[in-house]
Structure 1
Amino acid sequence: MSDRYIDFANSALGHRLVGALGLPSPVRLERWEAGRLRPVNGALLIGGGPLTQNVSAFANKLTEQIYSYGPKLKAVVFDASDLMQTGQLKQLREFFQPLMKNLEHSAHLVIFGRAPETLSDPFAASAQRALEGFSRSLAKELRNGGTLQLLYVGAGAEGQLEGALRFFLSPKSAYVSGQVVRLNACDTQVQDWTRPLAGRTALVTGAARGIGASIAETLARDGAQVVLLDVPPAKTDLDALAARLGGHSIALDICAEDAAAQLIEQLPNGIDIVVHNAGITRDKTLANMTPEFWDAVLAVNLNAPQVLTKALLDSGALHDNARVILLASISGIAGNRGQANYAASKAGLIGLAQAWAPLLAARGISINAVAPGFIETRMTAQIPFTLREAGRRMSSLGQGGLPQDVAEAVAWLAQPGSGAVSGQALRVCGQSVLGA
């Protein structure tokens, strides 16, 4: 649904009134549009340590304007991976301070570092861990739709920097900010950036409408052959979407005892990407929670993804170098009143990704969770007005996200090169004040 406050705040009268009253003034975020050729439409500034050489090798694919200093900036990359002493951290202030008033609307900033747990020197690990506090804080200071991420680059992961920056420096990451992502070595590469998922088959559950439908559309846009799954009552919408995307539909109750067998039968050629999006809410405070509400949420949101993924693995239907993406929630990270069942299920998905990642690495399979915050859907439209407005404003970007924002994050994690990321939870929440 439309966010009327943003419409008002960005009108001539509203802008003056909001400023005079000191109210939040969120801007309309720039998002990816069909026909766009480059990730960055504007000036890219590159600075810092040795990883800048890796970025410079492909920077002309990101934008036509590359600077070591220069005009209004649309994107910034700073390599802090060689800051190994406390005294060297002043380079962060010296580099970023002059830029703060020189950023374009919806600018995207990325800092590189080295994962502290991989460093043997305690002082070096301390300096690199300091990057997290700096980056999260600076992300909260950005204005006009700006975002900032910290990427810890592991040994051998340099070859996957292009894929990461194509996402994090572009409008595809419009509603992702203040995140810390670890990149590790990955052998697979994207062959065609215009269709990075070409030749791959993707299964999306809960695909008939909302976020699931947006994920299916985005994966198809990026070249994937899509298999769409939803409950039998949603078959009409599901079939229509599958026909529009040139995909295949499966009407199936994922909690049925024979759901795994039915699904595998429908996938004779196997699958490369699995997106567990199907989920339900049955909200009550724990004092009023019925067994039926508890059981239903845990069965759909957590048990079904566990059972179906294991069946796909055991049967060989899930190919080597596959990508598994679990739709979690910031409720699973920070908790939410009246959602003990839902939060437990979503936290369980994050735990599943963390536990399964090292076990699947031998087959080149990655598994990650995407944790949306307040996303504008039919479900959030039913939230009482006061709570809905609070949910929208309680983030650094001061607004709710769109289903497209979640879909873009899923599509990035589904890419061949995103095997560099596994066992992690990527928040798509506009840097919500809830959780870390």
Structure 2
Amino acid sequence: MSDLYHKVSNSPVGRSVVSALNLPAPVVLERHNRPNAPFLEGEVLVSAAPGGKAIETICSVLGASTASLFALDQKTLVPAGEMKSKTKISPLKADAIDAKRRFKALVFDATGITTTEDLKAVYEFFHPVIRNVGKCGRVVIIGTEPSACATPAMAASQKALEGFIRSVAKETGKKGVTAQVIYATPGSENQIESPLRFFLSPRSAYVSGQAISVSKAAKPKSALDWNAPLNGKVALVTGASRGIGEAIAKTLARDGAHVVCLDVPQAKEALESVATSIGGNTLALDITEPNAPEVISSYFKEKFGGLDIVVHNAGITRDKTLGRMPDHFWDLLIDINLSSEERINDALFANEVFNKNARIVCVSSISGIAGNVGQSNYAASKSGVIGYVESLSKQLKGGITINAVAPGFIETQMTAAIPFMIREAGRRMNSLNQGGQPEDVAEAIAFFSSPASQGVNGNVLRVCGQSLIGK
């Protein structure tokens, strides 16, 4: 659905009116819309706290972009002559940065911080340059996973990065700037490339104030084509006939996957339209049918010999306050939004349909994190998805990973039916002052689905523009 206020506030006349009335003026977010576009362009400022363990990988990743790299204090970086990546980084003094200079990204390695006193290094880097981040810029900190820290003091200092980055995201969101933290368990710093590329790129336009954790994992044996990372992969997307599901199917296909689009038989015509547009297949099936898990398992085993990616997107709402909610509203929501995912995965595992290094991605919701009036059934189902992901991630073998996305206010047919005032509040109650697009959710799912995201497991990523509700 179109956001009229967003359009008006970005017109020449509307911009003047909004400014005069001191109203929020959401910027037009930069999204990935150019084939083979570099993941990062412009000037990037990079630095590290003393003892940083991720700076080599950071510089190597940034060196693969077309960005021009600068460092405020190269003493904290790996000496140029010792860097395997040979990344060119130009020195820059803080007092030489004028007010008009704009950086596309600020990247800081905080893995060397071990005490709360060390946190001053974060302030010293960001304080003089935070106002120099340009429109739709990126702020990313690399830290050490707090739960894996050796001492309580280190855990405190690393957890502090999360509060810091969320405040920065709220301070800079009016410019379309996003801010995130990537936590690496000790020894897994070489796994940050995929989330770092994602967070620095236009693909993460509606993701802000988030923390992602990476852990040790085997890196892909062959070089990855970052423009088509899913080449040769077979994917299943449930609820794919429209909205977010349609966007997921198209995005995975864009990245090279052969996508099987699944939805209920009543949506067969729309489903076939989506599949035809991406050269995929259709599976018209009600996932609540008793035989659905076995039908899905047999289909992929017989037709493709296995399955690489499954995206559990199918879901519905049946809103009523708890005292007025009939029991079939509860039963239906739990069955479709939660139990069906368990049954399908159980069958795929039992029948050995998942290929090695397969990816499972579940769609949760901000309602599952913060709750919502009239959605006790929906919130329960989506919070259950989060619990399922966090638990199953610890049991998986063979390089298989499971993660979840939690969309906030996304412009779809479902949100278009929300009453006007509530809809407007939903759009504006986030740091970016606007609703997201279905492709924003799809890009996050594509990131989780990538072979390069091997070290990303058990995460829940909010795609909500840093909604002001919830964690």
- In which range does the TM-score fall when normalised by the shorter chain? over 0.9
Partner of 1:248: 281
Residue equivalent to 2:467 = 432
Shift of 1:53: 2.0
- Note if 1:79 corresponds to 2:115: no
Q: What pairs up with 1:24-423 in 2 under 5 angstroms? A: 24-49=24-49, 50=52, 51-68=54-71, 69=92, 71-142=101-172, 143-189=174-220, 191-267=224-300, 268=302, 269-360=305-396, 362-423=397-458
Deviation at 1:91, TM superposition (A): 1.6
Q: 2: distance between equivalents of 1:367 and 1:54?
A: 24
In the aligned structure 2, how far is the partner of 1:93 from the partner of 1:210? 42
5+ unaligned residues in a row in structure 1: which ranges?
none
Deviation for aligned residue 1:367: 0.6
Deviations 1:134-169 (A, max 9, x none): 111111101310000011112332222221121100
Whole-Å separation in 2 of the counterparts to 1:263 and 1:54: 40
> Displacement, 1:84?
1.5
Question: 1:20 corresponds to which residue?
Answer: 20
Matched-pair contact (CA < 8 Å) for 2:42–2:66:
yes
Deviates more, 1:239-248 or 1:342-351: 239-248
2:5 aligned partner, one-letter code: Y
**How far is 1:36 from its partner?**
4.2
SS of the residue corresponding to residue 13 of structure 1 reads helix
1:228-269 per-position Cα deviation (integer Å, ceiling 9, x unaligned): 100001111111221221111100000001101111121121
Structure 2: distance between partners of 1:276 and 1:203? 8
Q: Distance in 2 between matches of 1:183 and 1:260?
A: 31
TM-score of the pair, normalised by structure 2: 0.90
CA contact (8 A) 2:106 2:133 kept: no
2:80 is matched with: none
Displacement of 1:205 in angstroms is 0.2
C-alpha separation in 1, matches of 2:153 and 2:464: 32
SS of residue in 2 equivalent to 1:76: strand
For the residues of structure 1 that align with 2:130 and 2:15, how far apart are their CA atoms? Answer: 21
Deviations, residues 362-389 of structure 1 (Å, cap 9, x unaligned): 2211111100000000110010000000
2:78 maps to which residue?
A: none
Cα distance in 2, alignment partners of residues 212 and 188 from structure 1: 29
Are 2:247 and 2:442, in contact at CA under 8 Å, matched by a contact in 1? yes
Structure 2 unaligned residues grouped into runs of 5+:
72-91
Q: Which amino acid aligns with 1:174?
A: A
2:251 and 2:442 in contact (8 A); partners too: yes
Could you say what secondary structure the match of 1:421 adopts?
coil
Relative distance call for 1:240 and 1:169 in structure 2 (3 A) is same
Out of 65-74 and 321-330, give the one that drifted further.
Answer: 65-74
Deviation for aligned residue 1:85:
1.8
| SS, match of residue 316 in structure 1 | coil
Aligned partners of 2:230, 2:160: CA distance in 1, in Å? 36
Aligned 8 A contact 1:62 1:166 in 2: no
Q: How far apart are the structure 1 equivalents of 2:366 and 2:410? A: 11
Q: Do 1:230 and 1:253's aligned partners in 2 also have CA atoms closer than 8 Å?
A: yes
CA contact (8 A) 1:78 1:110 kept: yes
Letter paired with 1:116: P
Alpha-carbon shift at residue 57 of structure 1 (Å): 2.1
Partners in 2 of 1:32 and 1:310 — Cα distance?
A: 35
Which moves more between the two structures, 207-216 or 124-133? 124-133
What SS is found at the alignment partner of 2:236?
A: strand
- Runs (4 or more) in structure 1 with deviation over 6 Å come to none
Q: Is the 8 A contact 1:111 1:150 kept in 2?
A: yes
Counterpart Cα distance in 2 of 1:58 and 1:106? 20
Q: Distance in 2 between matches of 1:374 and 1:57?
A: 35
Query: How far apart, CA to CA, are the structure 2 residues paired with 1:233 and 1:106?
Result: 41
Task: State the partner residue of 1:6.
Answer: 6
Larger mean Cα displacement after TM superposition, 110-119 or 390-399: 110-119
Select between 14-23 and 379-388 the one with higher mean Cα deviation: 14-23
Mapped to 1, the partners of 2:232 and 2:130 lie a distance apart of 42
Classify the secondary structure of the residue corresponding to 1:420. coil
Contact 2:234 2:308 in 1 (8 A): yes
Per the alignment, in what secondary structure is the counterpart of residue 355 of structure 2? strand
8 Å contact 2:148–2:186 — kept in the other structure?
no
